[in-house]
Amino acid sequence: MTQFIKTRAAVAYAPNQPLVIEEIDLMPPQAGEVLVRIVATGVCHTDAYTLSGQDSEGVFPCVLGHEGAGIVEAVGEGVTDFAVGDHVIPLYTAECKQCKFCTSGKTNLCSSVRATQGKGLMPDGTTRFYKDGKPIYHYMGTSTFSEYTVVSQYSLAKIQDDAPLEEVCLLGCGVTTGIGAVTKTAKVKAGDTVAVFGLGGIGLAAIIGARMSKASRIIAVDINPDKFAKAKELGATDFVNPKDYDKPIQDVIIEMTDGGVDFSFECVGNVDLMRAALECCHKGWGESVIIGVAPAGAEIKTRPFQLVTGRVWRGSAFGGYKGRSELPDLIDQYQHGEFKLSDFITHTMPLEDINNAFDLMHEGKSIRTVIHF
C-alpha cells in the first residue's frame, strides 16, 4: 500500500483555464528519483505557452513550473549523488553524463529522460502525482508549481547551501537561458554588436550576458516601451520600438549599425521576429540565435540567400548550460556580484495567487514573479 505524500499544488486541468490550487497526492520517489521540497519558483513565459494549449507536448491535467529551487527531502533506491538536506535546482534539461549527447562534448541536450519527459511522465512511464486516484501529469521533468515534487536524479543540480533559493530559482530557466545563449551558444566577444529582441526575463538576461562579454553595442528591441528602462539599467545602449517605424525592423537595425549586427537573439517566440532577427545580422558573419518558443505548427522562413551570404541561424536551449556540472559555477558568478537576480524579481506572491502571476505577465507588467511556498 503506497504511502502518498500530501502536497499543495497548482494544477492545470485544461488549456486556458485558471490553475486550481489544491492538495494532491504524491508518490514517494522510486528508484533513481528524488523528492524535493520546492521553496520558490519563478513563472516563465513557457509555462504560459503550455497553458495556452499551443505546446505540442502539453498534456493535461498537469503540474506546470520549471524554474524552481528547493531542498532534498528523500531519495529513491540507488540515488548516490543527492542526500536529504541538499539544496537543489530541478533541471528541464537533464544531464546524465552517460548518453551519446552528454558524452559528445557538443551539446547540453541529454537523451536520458527526454522522451518520457515530453509525455508528462517519469522515466518508468508512470506519474507520481494523483488526485482522487487519477494521474496528474508532470511537466518538463520538474513540476515546480507544487510544494513537493519528484524528479529524476538526472534532472537535478546540487547547488551551494548558502545561495538564496528565492533568488537562484531564476537560474532554473530564464536567467541561465539568456546569459548562456550569449556567452556559451553565441560566444559573443568584446567589441561585438548585439541586438536583443524581446525584453522579458530571457531578453534582459541576454543583455546581461552581452554586457559581461563586453559587447560594444547592445540594441534592445520591444513593442512595450515600459521595458526599456530596465534594459538600459542592465547595459543596453540603444532602444528600438518596432511600432515607431513604418519599415521592417531589420532595415532599421541595418541602418543603425552600418550593415547589421554581429549577433542577434530572438527572445519572444514569434516566427516573423525570428526572420527579422536573422536578417538584421551583418552579411558574411552575423549570427542569430533563436531562444523563443513558437506555437506548435509554426515555421520559420527567410530567403536562402540570407544564409548563402554568410548569416548563421542557430538555437539555444537552457543557454547551452549542462545543469549538473555547470550551474554551480554560474551561482559562483552570481555570488561574486557579476550579475544580480533581484533585478528580475518584480513581484513575489504565495502559491494561492499564482494565477495573478500569469495575468501580470500577459499584461506586460512583470519580468519575473517568484512564488513562495
Catalytic positions, written as ranges: 44-46, 66-67, 96, 99, 102, 110, 114, 173, 368
Helix axes 271-279, 249-256, angle to 10 degrees: 30
Of the residues 10, 11, 44, 59, which one makes contact with Zn ion according to CB under 5 A: 44
Which range in 41-49, 105-113, 302-310, 313-321 contacts Zn ion by CB under 5 A?
Answer: 41-49
**Closest Cα partner for 49 from 64, 37, 71, 27?**
64
Cβ 62 to ligand NAD shortest distance, Å: 16
Residue 221 dihedral angles phi and psi, to the nearest 5°: -120, 125
State the Cα–Cα distance between residues 219 and 227, nearest whole angstrom: 13
Per CB under 6 A, 101 contacts ligand AHE? no
Of the residues 57, 81, 255, 359, which one makes contact with ligand AHE according to CB under 6 A: 57
State the Cα–Cα distance between residues 209 and 155, nearest whole angstrom: 25
Looking at residues 145 to 174 of the shown chain, list those that interact with Zn ion (rule: CB under 5 A). 173
Q: Which of 92, 148 has the CB closer to ligand NAD? A: 92
User: CB–CB of 238/220 below 8 Å?
Assistant: yes
3-state secondary structure of 147: coil
Grid cell in block for residue 282: 551583418
State the Cα–Cα distance between residues 26 and 135, nearest whole angstrom: 10
Detail the DSSP E strand segments found in 159-252. 193-197, 217-221, 238-240
Per CB under 6 A, 102 contacts ligand AHE? no
Cβ 292 to ligand NAD shortest distance, Å: 4
- Omega within 30 of 0 (cis) for the link into 328: no
Q: Which does 113 bind (CB under 5 to 8 A by kind): ligand NAD, ligand AHE, Zn ion, none?
A: none
Q: Which does 55 bind (CB under 5 to 8 A by kind): ligand NAD, ligand AHE, Zn ion, none?
A: ligand AHE
Grid cell in block for residue 126: 508512470
Per CB under 6 A, 321 contacts ligand AHE? no
Q: Which of 57, 251 has the CB closer to ligand AHE? A: 57
By CB under 5 A, name the binding residues for Zn ion.
Answer: 44, 46, 173
By CB under 6 A, name the binding residues for ligand AHE.
Answer: 44, 46, 55-57, 93, 109, 114, 173, 293, 296, 317-318
